[in-house]
Structure 1
Amino acid sequence: MLIEAAKDVLGQGGPDASLEAVARKAGVGIGTLYRNFPDRESLFHAVFSRELELLAEQAERIQSTNDPVGALRGWLHDNVAIVETKRGMLGALSVVLSEETKKSFAEKSGRISTALNVLLTRAAEAGQMREGVTADDVLQTMYALCYAREPGPDWRPQVLKLLDIFIDGLAR
């Protein structure tokens, strides 16, 4: 409950967002928030870690789909929502990460890359997607499209439109 509320509030307000607003949104007192997350950075890291875990689980679920183009499109659209949240938290996420946090993020990122590579390889072998495309190619393109645009009310629809064009170019 706290992490979901933090995702919403911190994603919109960034590093300066009120932790009191997070507690209110979660329906708890500020003391409860601080008992679970002693500082703003630990809350930001918990939100980002949860989002990465959900992306990794989803990537692992879709790797054996019969509709790889649709599955990749849906996964990338979900990823854009996480980038949108992360953009709002960049100041806090840029603090020095502990070795344990770096290891956790790297493990989840590795799971994502592995699952996407399986999906892309299977799709290429079935003639549904272009051959030779890797998870790195897809992720770099997605992040480039996300960060090429300034945040604003039209940011997400514009990024999703460009991602759809990219995915359509991968499909056969």
Structure 2
Amino acid sequence: MTTAPMSGRKAQAARNDELILEAARAVFTADPGAPIAAVAERAGVGISALYRRYPSKEALLQKLCGDGLKLYIEVTERAIGEGGDPWDEFASYMRGIVDADTNSLTIKLAGTFQPTEELFRDAVRASELAIEVHGRAVEAGVLRPDVTPADIALLFEQLASLKLGDEERTSQLRHRFLALMLDSLRQPPAHRPLPGPAPDDTELSSRWNP
């Protein structure tokens, strides 16, 4: 069954919504206190167009975090559904969550708005899945038993806080340090070549340039 193409007006509305959400993520992960007008400006849409879709900053934050939770659930369910080697399943979950970058929202937006009932339900589901994928790895004897699901959640936040250079370089470095983490989490510990070039002093010092 093919989906009928959207009319010009609906297609534009969908595109505006995409632009608004992309802009909102960039604006609010940089500055949670930014006004909603900053989102409209970055998205290149009128403030009235934004308010037609999201009547308040609170509604926009709820949407952003709701989408983040759904993506977390999707990535984790996919990793569990792959089956096969227990370590590969756990590592696939870790890499998928790092790529999804849902924890950037957690770091910046936790506690800045009132969660909805749907957000609470999705958060419970995400937690259940995180516990399941962790438990499967521990039970298989491939993950250190003294590491908890909460430990893993905070490791994700540490990786999400790593930002250096452009998006591609940031992704390279996050996966480099994820590989270090995975080697230390594995039972018995592994020592594999690290992906991506190591950071250098020039990159680190460049952060101080105005």
**Taking structure 1 as the reference length, what is the TM-score of the superposition?**
0.71
Match of 2:55, SS state, is coil
Q: After the TM superposition, which segments of 4 or more aligned residues of structure 1 sit over 6 Å from their partners? A: none
Distance 1:78 1:150, change over 3 A: closer
- State how far apart, in whole Å, the 2-side matches of 1:37 and 1:109 are: 22
**What are the Cα deviations for residues 79-107 of structure 1, in whole angstroms up to 9, with x where unaligned?**
4x2234566xx4x7654x33xx2544333
1:22 corresponds to which residue?
Answer: 43
Of residues 83, 86, 97 in structure 2, which corresponds to 1:76? 97
**What are the Cα deviations for residues 25-58 of structure 1, in whole angstroms up to 9, with x where unaligned?**
xxxx654432221123321221121111221232
Structure 1 gaps, min length 5: none
Of residues 119, 130, 134 in structure 1, which corresponds to 2:133? 119
Distance 1:12 1:152, change over 3 A: farther
- State how far apart, in whole Å, the 2-side matches of 1:12 and 1:156 are: 16
Instruction: Tell which structure's C-alpha radius of gyration is larger.
Output: 2
Contact 2:98 2:156 in 1 (8 A): no
Count of aligned residue pairs for this structure pair? 160
- State how far apart, in whole Å, the 1-side matches of 2:57 and 2:152 are: 31
Match of 1:133, SS state, is coil
Of residues 175, 179, 185 in structure 2, which corresponds to 1:164? 179
Structure 2 gaps, min length 5: 1-13, 29-33, 188-210
| Percentage of identical aligned residues | 21
- In the alignment, is residue 110 of structure 1 matched against residue 114 of structure 2? no
1:8-157 to 2 correspondence within 5 Å? Answer: 8-14=22-28, 15-16=34-35, 17-22=38-43, 24=45, 30-64=47-81, 65-66=83-84, 67-79=88-100, 81-84=101-104, 90=108, 94-95=111-112, 97-98=113-114, 101=115, 103-147=117-161, 149=162, 153=166, 155-157=170-172
**Taking structure 2 as the reference length, what is the TM-score of the superposition?**
0.60
Greater per-residue helix proportion = 1
Query: Bigger relative contact order, structure 1 or 2, given CA contacts below 8 A and separation 6+?
Result: 1
Cα RMSD for the two superposed structures: 3.0
Distance 1:36 1:8, change over 3 A: closer
2:195 corresponds to which residue?
Answer: none
